[in-house]
């Protein structure tokens, strides 16, 4: 595939495997605050959206103060169990190291908040590879709106035509395309490429294909 000067990555489902961690967290929260047992397919289909958007889907509209309580409790629970489930996908750390050795600009564009993002990146040995981390705190609008990718490009001083966004969800591919950058869909996604509403520029089976 084409070589780029700037590589932007989604985090969950792209760099590290948090699917079961995310599911167990929503299982806890939806039972506690909605008295419902949520299934994995419903959770997996919404990974990539912000927590508040996900909870609105699962529990319906909430008073802002109630939503704050739910989100805080949800993340406290997730942080209490993450070491049981968190792991880097095979070959990811090595591929990031190779891109760094080639002096590429690198950033993360994610719907995960900074507290857990930083912790999970450090736990998996990825934190030092990235020049910028764009989380929901840095933008008013979120994926699939282009603002998060545009913010990363601005911070990095990167040309959209020389940049690519790598992700595992339709929201990532839509966000990248809306921002005018090429996109890569990773085949280890929980959702198939046939679920994409827009076509990704590339589909890869291994992270090292980014520079082959």
pLDDT at 36 over 90: yes
Please tell me which residue, 177 or 47, carries the higher pLDDT value: 177
Output the domain CATH number for residue 42: 1.10.150.240
pLDDT digits (tens, 9 = 90+) for 10-27: 999 999 999 999 999 999
As beta bridge partners, residue 8 has 107, 165
65 in catalytic set: no
Q: Residue 3, Cβ neighbours under 10 Å: how many?
A: 12
pLDDT at 195 over 90: no
Q: How confident is the model at residue 82 (pLDDT cuts 50, 70, 90)?
A: very high
Residue 91 inside a domain? The answer is: yes
116 and 196: one domain? yes
Report d(CA 6, CA 10) in Å as an integer: 14
User: In the prediction, which pLDDT does 48 show?
Assistant: 85
12 and 24: one domain? no
pLDDT at 9 over 90: yes
67 and 127: one domain? no
pLDDT digits (tens, 9 = 90+) for 113-148: 999 999 999 999 999 999 999 999 999 999 999 999
203 and 106: one domain? yes
78 and 92: one domain? no
203 and 119: one domain? yes
Q: Residue 198, Cβ neighbours under 10 Å: how many?
A: 12
Domain boundary at 66, 84, 102, which? 84
Catalytic residue among 10, 12, 17, 182: 10
Q: What's the number of domains the chain is made of? A: 2
103 and 191: one domain? yes
Residue 1 inside a domain? The answer is: no
Residue 136 inside a domain? The answer is: yes
80 and 91: one domain? no
Range of the domain at 39: 19-84
User: In the prediction, which pLDDT does 212 show?
Assistant: 78
110 and 192: one domain? yes
Q: Is 66 helix (H, G, I), strand (E, B) or coil?
A: helix
Report d(CA 129, CA 93) in Å as an integer: 9
80 and 116: one domain? no
pLDDT digits (tens, 9 = 90+) for 58-78: 999 999 999 999 999 999 999
């Amino acid at each position: 595939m084409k070589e780029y000067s700037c590589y932007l990555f989604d985090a969950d489902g792209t760099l590290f495997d948090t699917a079961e961690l995310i599911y167990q967290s929503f299982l806890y929260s939806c039972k506690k605050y909605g008295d419902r047992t949520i299934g994995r397919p419903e959770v997996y289909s919404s990974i990539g959206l912000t927590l508040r958007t996900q909870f609105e889907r699962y529990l319906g509209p909430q008073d802002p103060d109630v939503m704050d309580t739910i989100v805080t409790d949800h993340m406290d629970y997730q942080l209490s169990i993450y070491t049981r489930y968190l792991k880097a996908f095979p070959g990811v750390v090595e591929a990031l190291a190779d891109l760094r050795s080639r002096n590429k600009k690198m950033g993360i564009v994610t719907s995960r908040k900074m507290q857990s993002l930083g912790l999970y990146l450090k736990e998996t040995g990825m934190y030092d590879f990235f020049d910028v981390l764009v989380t929901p705190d840095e933008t008013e609008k979120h994926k699939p709106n282009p603002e998060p990718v545009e913010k990363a490009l601005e911070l990095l001083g990167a040309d959209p035509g020389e940049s690519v966004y790598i992700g595992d969800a339709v929201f990532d591919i839509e966000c990248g395309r809306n921002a005018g950058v090429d996109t890569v869909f990773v085949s280890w996604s929980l959702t198939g490429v046939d679920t994409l509403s827009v076509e990704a520029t590339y589909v890869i089976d291994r992270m090292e294909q980014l520079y082959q």
